[in-house]
Chains A and B, each alone.
Chain A
């Protein structure tokens, strides 16, 4: 139990914080219910995928500044391809867009490994390139999305045997998020590849000496980041029904949630669950502040303060724990 708390304490703490925030939300707005939670989940979706993309890369000891731009490019690509096309055609579009994200991520990784230019510089460069490419695909918000795709994240999941009062709190968007992340993350975490990913983030010299193919693993980390970013891009198209070529505020949000989620920016430490809960926390805080009718400009200040305070407190607790 104490080992679980030591390893997962941060995630558990975040989850408690999230539940507390839900209670606070109910206090502020007694009518806050399942439908509102559903829209929160839908709003979180693109953020969550951006965070997942950033987490994989940061765990491997890198950073990806092109996350938001990649989401924009994949989103407009999907929207442009699906505009006016049949519902069945979308079945081919989804894998294509996912593969596109994977390839673009792999390109990031390969550039970093081969050129030995620092990751922050390479991904900054690709940020601009992808931004431009997105505008080439669609120069203004437009395109379309298949109906079944849009329906995928609207409403709740009826589970036979469970009363409606419970299933109302299981929005489809959340289920989609969990499935998409789990399908990639769980097999990865259980494979040697996942270990290698943590290994190169923790110490690339020790990893090299342990026989880990450092370059290949790094490329793969960026590729997985690209895959998650493409999922994020798709959810953007799914929730709006169109594609927008200008990147949203997902880059900084992803870094913020990674930090708040207990992932060491130096790499090697943390998991995927923490950042995902963190992104829910950050969005819920924003909802609460909006409900309280706080000036939107003040809202960002408060978000920044929360981040610093939480991370500082966490570091303090960790230090106390180390010297009994």
Chain B
């Protein structure tokens, strides 16, 4: 069993003139929809090529064709100039195309080294697995990409960021010519991201073509050599990153310009205190957090991963138990750990984890929207469905929620539209305080500006908006005041005017 990665010179010589992988005129249809239409995509060895586009643009279909998960309907695929026929993931792996998907696909009970050689274990005499070689090769591999982990560690015991590194290492363990990374930073902290980037650069330096799929602009500007943008299944542009600016890239992705990502239409916040939190502590994280949020204000909470923003969000709406402190909504004390009185008093959470805490994926749009306010559409316990549907339709129209009908299962909507459905759920109920946790996570650039505008409107209508975010532009663009957390404590509260990135980051480090 050869491990080309360890001896790159001995494998087939890497010719930098011939593209590592060349896709020409790729077409793919699914029943009722054209997912890819005549798409070209060329990868140079040793280069990092970003693949961008909104959800539904065709990025994942293209990757899956490269990985052999889907067959193509039209077009040709060439590896180093030679036409190849990729019919299954096996064919793709054999050609040296390695895809690191978003979800970790390691066996958590196995050691790191065992996972890395899962594709084929080196065997010794009599066909027994050569464990020594596995460990030694793994260690050499890690050394090469600058990745510090014990090959004998049980994979499940590692943090997610390291598991991701193991995934990348596994992609490289057997002859790799193309490595595809699908949104690899979605669950990483800034430090881990920079470590990942170092690894990616080293991989590219070995002459491997890297595909970096992301919709985070700043990352792409930092890491990519070339950018290809897809939109609605079509190839829009391929350009060196140097020719792009933020604006041109967004324009390519969404097909129009966004003049102002953070339009502010609301007036100054009022003086009425809508939410008052005093000395709030929880068993695991929060330590004596106190703050007030006023009606008509967006109070942004910033913090690094693990600072306790989500914990705070869940505690103040009554979802999680607290060990000490008081929460007062509109002058009335909230019974802790009781969402029922919370919602009655008018405080609700727009969760960061839409799928597992917000959406009822199998259920239709209208039922998702009306969940918190169903009582208002009922008489003697019977739902007046016509009245309910009219009310939901009203929100669908006003927020332009793109859905074929009110009866569409909500899981089939795009992230931005799902978020709008969940915001509708709270607006239909009528709140005084809304806590929004990472409101644009997993949402396209185009839809983001809409969510920002919505948050602006919420505050404009007199709600107190408590926004938890890890995105600096979002924080600075939307907040009236900025609170910073570090390890469960509130380390600073400042007005938007006095806030600078530096001040915020200093407070976030503690």
Instruction: Please indicate whether A and B come from the same complex rather than being unrelated chains.
Output: no
